[in-house]
Amino acid sequence: MSNTFLITVIFIVLATFIGAFIRGRHRDKCLKDFSGSPVRIKTVGGKDIWGVLSVEATGLELLYPSPYHDQDGHIETSYILYKNEYPNIVTIFRFFEELDNRSKISREKELNKTYRPKGMKRLNRRIRNMFNTVKDSLMEILNLFIGQAKRTSIGGTVIGSQDKYLKQIGSEVKGTLLTSYEPLLEKYVGRKVVLHLRYGDTAHEHHGILKEYTANFIEIMDVQIKSDSESEIRTADIVVPRKYATVRHLGE
């Protein structure tokens, strides 16, 4: 067995394990905060989906409170939305009144910790952002190292033969290592903000506390949601796609 063949096998195994590890663990933090809670998802086209949210790395599932019989007579107990369908999400609502007593208490504690965080919580976030910034440089360092190694006679022969496996590993790692750190948003985490949400010809403004943001979503807590008739106001936490939503103003 040649050394080149052995190295090829090692790279294939390594790419497989790294890819599986990353795909199995990486879940959007904003979505994960709502996991286990009853939510309502409003989608493009006006469709509403209700259920208890379960979030995985490859998508999400809404578990219905009771079996649903569709018009064809099928029994449905959940709705699955795959990750590539996330662009169809307009808003995810978690209404306070629909939580059980234990979840309400837990949510209130989280709200108190979120609004104007002090001391250790803010320090932990700064440390996390520092490590995220370091992680953003890892791919650049890796690419630089590979580029330098390719210039040597031995390194060029070995690495050149494994180029496609290096690219496979890089593509698996890149999406997880790159952070969505946004200085303009970061300084308002834990503060009241005004969120501008626009999709199609519809526009809304929501006032609440900026809890978290990721590359794809923004999470706002303690939002007052008006009914269509505006006769009822409900307290909710919401997650909205950054594709449609912008934090436009400081709200305090």
d(CA 68, CA 34): 23
Task: Look at residue 152 and tell me if it is in a domain.
Answer: yes
Task: Look at residue 169 and tell me if it is in a domain.
Answer: yes
- Helix-strand-coil percent breakdown of the chain, rounded to 5? 45, 35, 20
d(CA 83, CA 241): 13
In single-letter form, the type of residue at position 12 comes to I
Query: Which neighbouring-strand residues pair with 54?
Result: 61
Task: Look at residue 65 and tell me if it is in a domain.
Answer: no
Task: Classify strands 202-213 and 59-69 as parallel, antiparallel or unpaired.
Answer: unpaired
Task: Look at residue 173 and tell me if it is in a domain.
Answer: yes
Domain hosting residue 128, numbered range: 3-26+120-178
Give the chain's largest Cα–Cα span.
76
d(CA 155, CA 169): 18
Higher-scoring residue by pLDDT: 251, 126: 251
Task: Look at residue 156 and tell me if it is in a domain.
Answer: yes
- Specify the pLDDT at position 125: 74
Task: Look at residue 114 and tell me if it is in a domain.
Answer: no
Give residue-wise pLDDT tens across range 3-29.
655 655 565 556 556 555 555 556 899
Give residue-wise pLDDT tens across range 173-217.
555 545 567 888 999 999 999 999 998 888 889 999 999 999 899
Task: Look at residue 56 and tell me if it is in a domain.
Answer: no
Task: Classify strands 38-43 and 48-56 as parallel, antiparallel or unpaired.
Answer: antiparallel
Give residue-wise pLDDT tens across range 129-173.
676 666 555 556 655 655 554 555 444 555 555 555 555 555 555
Task: Look at residue 70 and tell me if it is in a domain.
Answer: no
d(CA 167, CA 19): 12
Please enumerate in sequence order all residues whose Cβ is within 8 A of that of 172, keeping only pairs 6 or more positions apart, or say none: 15, 18, 19, 22, 23
Task: Tell me which residue has tokens 């494994």.
Answer: 162
Total count of domains within the chain: 1
